[in-house]
A = this chain, B = another copy of it.
Amino acid sequence: MTDALVVFTPSGKRGRFASGTPVLAAARQLGVDLDSVCGGRGICGRCQIGAAQALTPPNAVEARYAAKRDLAPDRRLGCQACVQGDTVIDVPADSQVHRQVVRKDASSRPMVMDPATRLYLLEVAEPDMHEPSGDFERLARALREQWDISGLQPDIQVLQELQPALREGGWRVTVAVHRGHRDPTPRLTGIWPGFHAQGAFGLAIDLGSTTIAAHLTDLTDGSVRTAAGVMNPQIRFGEDLMSRVSFAMMTPGGAAQMTAAVRTALADLATDLARDAGIAACSVLEAVVVCNPVMHHLLLGLDPVELGQAPFALATSGALEGAARDFGLGGIAPGARAYLLPCIAGHVGADAAAVALSEAPERSRDLVLVVDVGTNAEILLGNTTRVLACSSPTGPAFEGAQISAGQRAAPGAIERVRIDPVTKAPRFRVIGCELWSDDPAFPADQPVTGICGSGIIEAVAEMRMAGLVDASGLIGSAEQTGTARCLPEGRTHSYLLHDGTDRGGPRIAVTQGDIRAIQLAKSALYAGARLLMDDFGVDRVDRVVLAGAFGAHVSALHALVLGMIPDVAVERVTSAGNAAGTGARMALCSRDARAEVERLVGRIHKVETAIEPRFQEHFVAANALPHATAPFDGLRAHTPLPDLSFNRAAPGADGRRRRRAPA
């Protein structure tokens, strides 16, 4: 009897096998990517294949698995089904280790799975007094013999759990093994008695100056189990990065205080996320962190003082891989590993690297401008020929801070604003209510507590379009504007958005100071983008990607009206969602992504805004609010108004004086 021909799809790999060969064994021999954690014991269910011809009929192990864990009728366990004749066997996507997982949520990216951490079920030989090897050494031998992984190294923390786990599991344990993209030495990072059905998880952490966001991610398929954000507790040491660097410089032990604060917050966040997902902390085996350079240094316990002065030298710019505990990351498995993405420069951090990984400007044929606005704006400009990056100190105004009625994005905050160009009456939406404020059904008792970042941006843009503000940014008087909502306030005016005082609520107005804060922030953002365009030698970009919360909540129209970003057709402005967080998740799920971001960062050319005289020029030139009307047709009907310059001429006719960099 000749051997049977077995063809695997979609890989097309094929070979001949003796009748009775398990499909999993055939797949391994051919190098077909068919997952398995239990190594053929019919426990993990990861090796599912499509039912096919010429296989042995379902056996008792498959029946037991189907009863306990659910097995679709058209599926078989590859470790149980044996070849009986020529056949074509389909390996479904969810049974591949290295696969692209497309999430249903449209805003999230397909994740390519190639995780550094994987689980393996092992049968470990019992100790023998006459062959006195240690339990770890026998476990390492089992990994070599059963999974062909040699040279396992112990983690001292995991060694502490090893002996109880082996005995509780009756010498059958699940181990977590980490193999890095640069150092492929296998490391034992976790151990559980018997089969650890819960699986392996990782934390993708976006550590911002103001907020910390984390996604608890399944390392099997990249799915997000829970996500949460907390305020960065370092805010009490300074709102923006430079004030934290100052705190570190001026206060003995100041840097250590900030390090301790952020580490505690991260550990608490990790603990909360695992608890919310019903996952044991010891199942969280990896963490990936993206952050700006100052947060990077403060997390690692490095004094950030050099980042506060030219030449803005990082202690280290390379990616870091190591024990999570060495990076101060707690609340997860004691043996967990961590990866910090590389920084691009002293002002352009691992968060920008994560955005680059996620948005891949180096693969864009169009010239794309990627803008990620937080307390600093990270700006990337590039295409397949080259990629430039810079960071611009926008300050926290875009996040609602330093605004008279500003607040964080939270229920009760005004997040959208429209102003009727004729009546000058405003309407708005608040977070937590789907209705506009002029809707008859808008609840009379709806709390309106303040205005958040997207709200103030829309308010200023709408005020400009309604003729309440001139090109220089001055709010007109009631007389000039024709509405009693423009009230004198000292030597300037403010525009009343909402008065809740009769119900004990706040009075929410846009003051002249608010306009100035937004002008400063948007000028910094615009000047950064312009500086990169100068260096690239272009006057226009083909498209703009708005990343981060900013991108998700600010309309392209209003960003263009304000002059936050260079002119581009409004339909060429897209939102990338939380691109830094997506980049962190990509690096969490894939070793290839880590290698890629390290290569990519080496290719990005960084432009330093802080010492570049042209940045100041662009900044000053960008102060004006150029567009009295929406710059593009067909989106909203506006009555064009004459541009009222209440007191003086705007600083530039179009607010966009340009100077080309010397050739």
| Chain A interface (Cβ < 8 Å from any Cβ of B) | 126-130, 132-137, 154, 156, 159-160, 162-164, 183, 185, 300-303, 305-306, 310-318, 320, 322-323, 326-327, 343-346, 348, 606, 608, 611
Q: Given the complex, which residues of B lie within 8 Å of A303, measured CB to CB?
A: 160, 163-164
State whether B156 touches A318 (Cβ < 8 A): no
Select A132's contact among B133, B137, B322, B346, beta carbons within 8 Å. B346
Q: Given the complex, which residues of B lie within 8 Å of A127, measured CB to CB?
A: 311-313
Closest CB in chain B relative to A102 CB, distance in Å: 36
State whether A343 touches B134 (Cβ < 8 A): yes
- Besides A129-B312, A162-B316, A163-B313, 5 other A-B contacts (C-beta < 8 A): A127-B313, A132-B312, A135-B316, A137-B317, A154-B320
CA distance A316 to B156 in the complex (A): 10
Closest 8 A-B residue pairs measured CB to CB?
A132-B345, A134-B317, A127-B313, A136-B316, A134-B314, A134-B316, A129-B311, A127-B311
Known: A137-B316, A303-B163. A326 touches B156 (CB 8 A): yes
Q: Return the chain B residue nearest A344 by Cβ.
A: B132
Q: Return the chain B residue nearest A154 by Cβ.
A: B316
State whether A156 touches B301 (Cβ < 8 A): yes
Q: Return the chain B residue nearest A608 by Cβ.
A: B129
Closest CB in chain B relative to A326 CB, distance in Å: 5
State whether B315 touches A163 (Cβ < 8 A): yes
CA distance A92 to B300 in the complex (A): 45
CA distance A316 to B183 in the complex (A): 23
CA distance A314 to B127 in the complex (A): 9
Q: Return the chain B residue nearest A305 by Cβ.
A: B163
State whether A300 touches B608 (Cβ < 8 A): no
Q: Given the complex, which residues of B lie within 8 Å of A134, measured CB to CB?
A: 313-318, 343
State whether B318 touches A136 (Cβ < 8 A): yes
Closest CB in chain B relative to A83 CB, distance in Å: 40
CA distance A163 to B308 in the complex (A): 13
Q: Given the complex, which residues of B lie within 8 Å of A345, measured CB to CB?
A: 129, 132
Q: State the copy count for this chain.
A: 2
Q: Given the complex, which residues of B lie within 8 Å of A305, measured CB to CB?
A: 163
Q: Given the complex, which residues of B lie within 8 Å of A606, measured CB to CB?
A: 132
Closest CB in chain B relative to A32 CB, distance in Å: 33
State whether B129 touches A611 (Cβ < 8 A): yes
Q: Given the complex, which residues of B lie within 8 Å of A126, measured CB to CB?
A: 311
Q: Given the complex, which residues of B lie within 8 Å of A323, measured CB to CB?
A: 326
Q: Which of A159, A316, A611 counts the most chain B CB atoms within 10 A?
A: A316
Q: Given the complex, which residues of B lie within 8 Å of A136, measured CB to CB?
A: 315-318
Known: A163-B302, A163-B303, A310-B129. A315 touches B135 (CB 8 A): yes
Q: Given the complex, which residues of B lie within 8 Å of A311, measured CB to CB?
A: 126-129
Q: Which of A132, A343, A346 counts the most chain B CB atoms within 10 A?
A: A132
Q: Given the complex, which residues of B lie within 8 Å of A317, measured CB to CB?
A: 132-134, 136-137
CA distance A162 to B303 in the complex (A): 10
Closest CB in chain B relative to A464 CB, distance in Å: 36
State whether A314 touches B162 (Cβ < 8 A): no
Q: Given the complex, which residues of B lie within 8 Å of A159, measured CB to CB?
A: 300, 302, 315-316
State whether A302 touches B160 (Cβ < 8 A): yes
Closest CB in chain B relative to A259 CB, distance in Å: 10
Q: Given the complex, which residues of B lie within 8 Å of A160, measured CB to CB?
A: 300-303, 315
CA distance A160 to B327 in the complex (A): 12
CA distance A136 to B163 in the complex (A): 39
Q: Given the complex, which residues of B lie within 8 Å of A318, measured CB to CB?
A: 134, 136-137
State whether B346 touches A314 (Cβ < 8 A): no
Q: Given the complex, which residues of B lie within 8 Å of A314, measured CB to CB?
A: 132-135
CA distance A303 to B156 in the complex (A): 12
Closest CB in chain B relative to A105 CB, distance in Å: 36
